[in-house]
Amino acid sequence: MKDIESVIAQNIKKLLNEYNLNQNELAKIAGVSESTVGKWVLRKSTPRMGAVQKIVDHFGIPKSYILEEKPTNLIEVSQRTIRIPVLGKIACGDPILAEENYEDYRTVLEEGLPSGNLVYLEAKGDSMQPTIPNGAMVMIREQPEVEYGEIAAVLVNGNEEVTLKRIKKQGGVIFLMPDNPAHEPILVDEDNPIKIIGKAVKFEQDL
């Protein structure tokens, strides 16, 4: 069995090759210096768990990809992956200012993904619990309308902030409804218009 330094060095080299990265690019992802990544590759040191977590979060891979030796008798099956952009955090409580530029990317398997343009938004707050937990990465399919009862990413407050709510219609009036009864619904009217970004199709949460 190889020592941990050799295992990690081999896995880091494989990661750099598979994602066509140089050491400086990986250093930025991990939040460390380029020389630190060089030490990992040369088996002079091992990454701290915080750096490992940043790497696996960025690429959507398990920690074992970095930390564990791969059995040599297994045949790897190549699977196509795509990178989906992550937008500014999505508010599941009080809406927060939404930055429209991409903050990051998440690499996911292409197989089984919904059709259409996809983006991720990070849920913040507890207004959509228990359906969507605080901190979950919510996949949004861009579309201008959703069915009543579905969860949508919605621009509010003059299209400057984004929130995640269930679209409900009661007596001809549209509401943005939280799933958590501790939060109040938001009335949609001329004084409080909304713009739907898209439909929430799935979410992911790291342990």
The structure tokens listed for 48 are 């701290």
For residue 62, the SS3 value is coil
C-beta separation of 1 from 69 below 8 A: yes
* Annotation marks residue 127 as catalytic: yes
Q: Which of 89, 124, 127, 199 is catalytic?
A: 127
| Whole-number Å distance between alpha carbons of 195 and 197 | 6
| Whole-number Å distance between alpha carbons of 56 and 8 | 13
* Annotation marks residue 165 as catalytic: yes
Q: Which of 13, 28, 89, 165 is catalytic?
A: 165
| Whole-number Å distance between alpha carbons of 159 and 165 | 15
- Could you list the active site residues? 127, 165
